[in-house]
Structure 1
Amino acid sequence: MSLRFKAVAVGAAVALAAASWTWFTPADAPAATVAFKHPGVLLSRAQLDFVKAKVKAGAEPWKSANAAMMSSSSASLSYTPKPRATVECGSSSNPDNGCTDERRDAFAAYTHALAWYYTGDSRYAAKSIQIMDAWSGTIKQHTDSNAPLQASWAASVWPRAAEIIRHTYASWPHAGRFGTMLRTVHLPQALANRAAYNGNWQLTQLEAAVGIGVHLDDRAVYDQAVATFRKRVPAYIHLTSDGALPKPPPGTSIDTRAEIVKYWNNQTTFVDGLSQETCRDFTHTGYGIAAVSHIAETSRIQGADLYPEVQERLRHAMGLHAKHSTGALPAWLCGGALANRKLGPVTEVGFNALSNRLGIAMTNTASLTAAQRPAGNNNLMSAWETLTHAGNPA
């Protein structure tokens, strides 16, 4: 297939996938604003500089968090990427043909990009580029049932690495090819309609689309993702002000009480901060919370801050799950029993934004966040967020 024909075919696929977001209309899109700020996916240059100064000064918790990152296998200068032309991922990554490899490599590229910025050692930048180039020169597609989620997990992280390298390092000859990979391989999967799935799916897809939009300077992709995000968050995190029942996920047929209760994993008592996936398990809920925090953080960097819009849902969600991550569950919550209540290292970004920047009291979230420091790398949604976001005012 010629490159020209291939580009046309992929462009058609992107357009078809975008059309599947039937609840998005032009009226939903914010008006075009100023140019994107770079680096600007999850981290700004001011945030990077703040951490660099703290690490240089040996201040905590950044010193310990940086030591944990630099001693990880993801920061090894001998790290070897494992790209594949086809990444095949079934349910729960079974089969796992390149799924774990791609996620690990994306986080390794991001880790090396951070190491480059904080140390000034160009070897880390070169390694980050090597990893990204290996994948952009190889991958063609994601397949099997988890393809949209896998592609979006990876594409939530790839742009973080790419933004730092492209906008702070002197040379990246194949940067354009990497951008083409994001647009043609990952973006169609991020735009696939999975509105009726568990909410962490679509929130992860939206995080990927937001990051891709910023990195490619594609205002249409970014605005579309943000417009959908603004409707999706209220259907994932409940507030009692919403009414007796949670909001139904937009663009789906889930709208009766029986359907909503089933979708919310048979929970029938709805309180502030309850998530659609709370009674599934806290880990998947954490993925959703992470995506909400990450998208809001990127929006703040880009000058159209979404935190004021989502802060009540986000603070209550983090607080409720932090409170119930240990101890006995009340009888009204998930029947009083839930096997998995491990939230994961997902609270640093939201806690910093809401508590440190906005001054909102968040006792339970503060306790859990401190207990999990330094936040590590879960190779799915979050990595090194104590280092990058703890107490970061920028």
Structure 2
Amino acid sequence: MRRSPLLAVVTALLSGVLVAPTAAHRADAAPTAFVHPGVTVSQGQLDFARAEVQAGAQPWKAAYDQMTASKYADLNRTPKPRATVECGSYSNPDYGCTGEREDAIAAYTDALAWYITRDARYAQKAIQIMDAWSATITSHTNSNAPLQTGWAGSSWPKAAEIIKYTYTGGWANSGRFATMLRNVYLPVVIKGSNSNGNWELTMMEAAVGISVFLEDKTSYDTAMAKFRTRTAAYVYLSSDGSLPKTVPSQNLDTRDKIVNYWQGQPTFVTGLTQETCRDFVHTGYGISSISHVAETSRIQGQDLYGTDVGERLRQALGFQSKYQRGEAVPSWLCGGSLNLGLGPVTEVGYNALHNRLGIAMTNTQALTEAQRPAGSNNLFVAWETLTHGDNPN
């Protein structure tokens, strides 16, 4: 189930991950044929989780129980779609923002519950929620509209992939749902954002997931290219040089501009993120989206974990995890004070890098195991101990 680092390197070399990419086999290019279900969680991962839950094995059974006890798995849930979802800064005003995000998570939760139990009521509830929104929503407005579109747009395709490709009871309005993703969500998220990095990373997560569901290779490639650029500009590695990489469109062309964008942090060390000195909550959003896109890409046949994306993810997880666990904060880091609260965001990256590739991740492992079962951040992360905890697939 676990591979040695040497085997991982050999495998990566044979697959072309660590060699110079060719035009036909770039590590960030759309696959020749998309794999379904294939957004963040694969058929093999679903089968593993189902078998472990049915066997009563831990931590998966506890994770499943946590999920089904949540409000998101309530079979009496009534979706609350709106034609226009209006979200201001920090979702104030909140006209449909919380409702949309939570309905999207609920649809994904029900899809997972369907797969594990084969209880058709869960599949039908997921369909009811997705149908309600696809029949209603036309736009997002106000200052947080791009981020809101990314948050909800990250959960919708995860739910839709499972239902469309595993539920045999039929989904008559799946085409209308696809049209919603194509017309309401994709045009917004594919543009990206020059705000804090977690915005664009979440938006690219949504764009990649939607592209898989729509089998849209052009959008997939566009989103992946922006994702690679933003990831490199979000997590610092010493190999980047004296200053972090930047996104060209942001015109961060002086040290002062870069330091200001990095929340006033003048010292750059491997694993630091652009939002570490803001707070760990938003940093966790960024890290989570990096792991989700990398996982989707792996399922689609192009493994980014053997590229700088994987190294940045590993270092970001380790750096943040040690302070989240209580290590003293040095005076040079964020003025000696950190706002903690990383959230349930470590399972996907930890499983990929430690369990599959055999990389030691002491702090990330300790934090991950202490936080199990990982729940939901009520925005776009949900139930990742169940789907990815020590999952060999």
Deviations along 1:172-227, one digit per CA (max 9) or x if unpaired, are: 00000000001111112102341x21000000010000000000010101111111
**Residue in 2 that maps onto 1:90:** 88
**Residue in 2 that maps onto 1:12:** none
Partner of 2:85, secondary structure, is strand
Give the share of equivalent positions with the same residue, in percent: 64
Deviations along 1:31-86, one digit per CA (max 9) or x if unpaired, are: 65421000000011111001111011111100100010011111111111111011
Is residue 361 from structure 1 mapped to residue 360 from structure 2 by the alignment?
yes
The answer to which of 327-336 and 155-164 deviates more is 327-336
| Preserved contact between residue 235 and residue 250 of structure 1 (Cα < 8 Å) | no
**Residue in 2 that maps onto 1:172:** 171
Partner of 1:233, secondary structure, is helix
- Opposite residue 323 of structure 1, the aligned amino acid is K
- Opposite residue 364 of structure 1, the aligned amino acid is N
| Preserved contact between residue 232 and residue 250 of structure 1 (Cα < 8 Å) | no
* Shift in alpha-carbon separation, 1:234–1:31, aligned structure 2, 3 A: closer
Deviation at 1:228, TM superposition (A): 1.4
- Partners of 1:295 and 1:193 lie apart in 2 by 15
- Partners of 2:278 and 2:139 lie apart in 1 by 30
Partner of 2:296, secondary structure, is helix
* Shift in alpha-carbon separation, 1:50–1:296, aligned structure 2, 3 A: same
> 1:14-163 counterparts in 2 under 5 A?
33-163=31-161
> 1:158-307 counterparts in 2 under 5 A?
158-170=156-168, 171-194=170-193, 196-307=194-305
Q: Please give the root-mean-square deviation of Cα atoms over the aligned residues, in Å.
A: 1.5
- Partners of 1:318 and 1:61 lie apart in 2 by 21
**Residue in 2 that maps onto 1:313:** 312
Q: Which has the higher contact order (CA 8 A, sep 6+)?
A: 2
- Partners of 1:318 and 1:182 lie apart in 2 by 31
Deviations along 1:7-29, one digit per CA (max 9) or x if unpaired, are: xxxxxxxxxxxxxxxxxxxxx99
**Residue in 2 that maps onto 1:331:** 331
Deviation at 1:353, TM superposition (A): 0.2
Deviation at 1:88, TM superposition (A): 0.1
Deviation at 1:277, TM superposition (A): 0.3
- Opposite residue 361 of structure 1, the aligned amino acid is A
Structure 1 unmatched runs, 5+ = 1-27
Partner of 1:375, secondary structure, is coil
Partner of 2:369, secondary structure, is helix
* Shift in alpha-carbon separation, 1:32–1:158, aligned structure 2, 3 A: closer
Partner of 1:64, secondary structure, is helix
| Preserved contact between residue 290 and residue 381 of structure 1 (Cα < 8 Å) | no
| Preserved contact between residue 86 and residue 141 of structure 1 (Cα < 8 Å) | yes
Partner of 1:251, secondary structure, is helix
- Partners of 2:258 and 2:304 lie apart in 1 by 26
Task: Name segments (4+ residues, structure 1) moved above 3 Å.
Answer: 28-33
Partner of 2:86, secondary structure, is strand
- Partners of 1:203 and 1:42 lie apart in 2 by 14
| TM-score normalised by structure 1 residue count | 0.91
- Partners of 2:256 and 2:249 lie apart in 1 by 18
**Residue in 1 that maps onto 2:385:** 386
Partner of 1:142, secondary structure, is strand
**Residue in 2 that maps onto 1:19:** none
Deviation at 1:30, TM superposition (A): 5.8
Deviation at 1:137, TM superposition (A): 0.4
| Number of positions where the alignment pairs a residue of Structure 1 with one of Structure 2 | 367
